[in-house]
A and B are shown apart, each in its own frame.
Chain A
């Protein structure tokens, strides 16, 4: 494993309706760690994940994954969206969803092979959901649905996993199962990045934490980040200067970078 950071975020600013919700985020996530993106509600955690995955276009800055552009290393990255982001009434059973992990743009028109099926079965076994493989996805509990999403992600056989709030609405048993699976993945050399809102459990779960509140408060090994000073800063509300200049940017429709200005 090389020393290239799994994710390198450089001066990233992102907005909704022209108003910045993430300010100049600049940090690196190392490989082979269990990493938490932690912060209060509305601090831009999901927005950060979406920018990393190219689901949103940032106003400034860029993201490199394994030192490369996302498009070049997409097959090594797996993304688990928020559970609420899909309609669980979609006509599909558990196996259908997990098999989606075997899709890729080049194989979109070829058939699913027996190998794909074996990989999907293996993934379901690892999340203890094999017995439910024929069950319709709407007839699962929240924790089971989350495990199906994680199984789909495992079926992608990636090196970097990005998960958006995988512990929300999940029962205690599922939470334990998911956590031990994540630790096992880390021990196999995978990098796992998790958006997480619960400060209590964050300390136990993660080796490395990015503390966020519209700006990056801290980014580093958990012991270094979990100081009362930094936590208070992250949970102590917004910065007036940032919110005021954010309003000005939105009102005047001002750019965040001058024309031709590159972030180096």
Chain B
């Protein structure tokens, strides 16, 4: 642990940590909007297509000059966007095909320039590699300043067009119909993606830059369904992942930063996938389990009610029941005073009768509804009612009663039981 402290005391450490977290958060904010507009892979195309700009900027400056490289990256990023747009407008090729074409051709050109850089004998030639996979530790305070200025501009533009972006993200067609200039907002967003990519490349690298635009947004979507919540979440996650990347970059200088940031984000994705409150697997699993339990216990009380309906019987011998309830079902029924247990017999309580009656009523109302409104054959309505009886709550019951005019019998001429 001693060694870790020496890194923390490194003069650049706090600079780099603060810088990368800030830059990554801004990139992730832009990514949230592209995610919502289902344009996630655009970020990948731009990040790869930007390479000739980075290598060209390096050659022009003759050194690792953040400002010139940044400008080169932005220029090529814009060229990438417009080439993709041009190809998909002028030909029948789809947008995604145009993206694959442009990203790989431009990346090829970038590779050519990269070999020129490497054979150029320029002093800092090997430093260019830090743009490919990211090398947070190699950033100087001056570089960070340049990137941060761009990031602040991006943040301001984002804030300025926020209302437009949020409307377009939720309902593009509606935005168009009320007179929004959707194309112009699209263009601004593309420019923002280019800028977001350019400010992220030194810490995460352009090869994996797409992950910073896509993954935090996708994670945030699993935790929040509101735009502002998504933005906060994706920014925070990106910042955290970038922070870890920066620390690793200082402790293990041979390691590129980008892959670690992406790995941290991937782990977050997997965790969120399991536990997120919106769409987590755990929640889905619990919901299924809960549905199953509701069905089991309501079916149990319904069957007892049917027996009561036929014979007026309220006492049953547990072992003689046709479908023996599970322990869990029995426990629930006891706890809710639906039944009382005396030794091997169970006794249906007033509350249990009411519950059984409610479910039976829902079942028969639904059968009648299917028969009358959907004109289904009377011998076809039962299977659906077997499920819907568990879903029909007080509100829907009232609605059904109103629609059907407080009926007395179901399609099979059985009484629809009302509370006495």
Q: Which residues in A have some Cβ–Cβ distance to B below 8 Å?
A: 10-11, 13, 23-24, 26, 60, 87, 89, 138, 215-218, 239-241, 244-245, 248-249, 252-258, 261-263
Contacts and interface: CB of A to CB of B under 8 A. Distances in A.
Interface stretch (B114-122, B159-167, B317-325, B384-392): B384-392
A253 B384 contact: no
B326 interface: no
Given A217-B375, A255-B387, A257-B387, 19 more contacts: A23-B374, A24-B374, A24-B376, A24-B381, A26-B377, A215-B374, A216-B375, A240-B399, A241-B396, A241-B399, A244-B395, A245-B392, A245-B396, A248-B396, A252-B291, A253-B287, A256-B384, A258-B387, A261-B387
Interface residues of B, number: 28
Interface in B369-420: 369-370, 373-377, 380-381, 383-384, 386-388, 390-392, 395-396, 399-400, 403
Counting from the closest, the 3 A-B pairs by CB-CB distance are: A89-B92, A215-B374, A253-B287
A256 B383 CA distance: 9
A87 B390 CA distance: 45
Grouping DSSP codes into helix (H, G, I), strand (E, B) and loop, the A interface class, with mixed when no group exceeds half, is mixed
Contacts of A245: 388, 391-392, 396
B399 A244 contact: yes
Contacts of A261: 383, 386-387
A88 B192 CA distance: 35
A257 B383 contact: yes
A26 B380 contact: yes
A11 B380 contact: yes
Interface string B93-118: 00000000000000000000000000
A257 B386 contact: yes
A24 B384 contact: yes
A242 to B, nearest CB: 8
Interface of B: 92, 284, 287-288, 291, 295, 369-370, 373-377, 380-381, 383-384, 386-388, 390-392, 395-396, 399-400, 403
A254 B291 contact: yes
Contacts of A89: 92
Nearest to A253: B287
B387 A254 contact: yes
A25 to B, nearest CB: 9
Contacts of B380: 10-11, 24, 26, 263
A24 B373 contact: no
A26 B391 CA distance: 22
B376 A253 contact: no
Contacts of B375: 216-218
Given A26-B377, A60-B384, A261-B386, A252 B287 contact: yes
Contact of B284 (A11, A218, A249, A253): A253
A261 to B, nearest CB: 5
A60 B383 contact: yes
A255 B289 CA distance: 12
Contacts of B373: 215, 239, 241
Nearest to B283: A253
Given A26-B377, A216-B374, A254-B390, A263 B399 contact: no
Contacts of A138: 92
Contacts of B370: 24
A60 B376 CA distance: 15
Contacts of B295: 258
Contact of B391 (A24, A217, A252): A252
A106 to B, nearest CB: 33
Given A215-B374, A216-B375, A253 B387 contact: no
Contacts of B369: 241
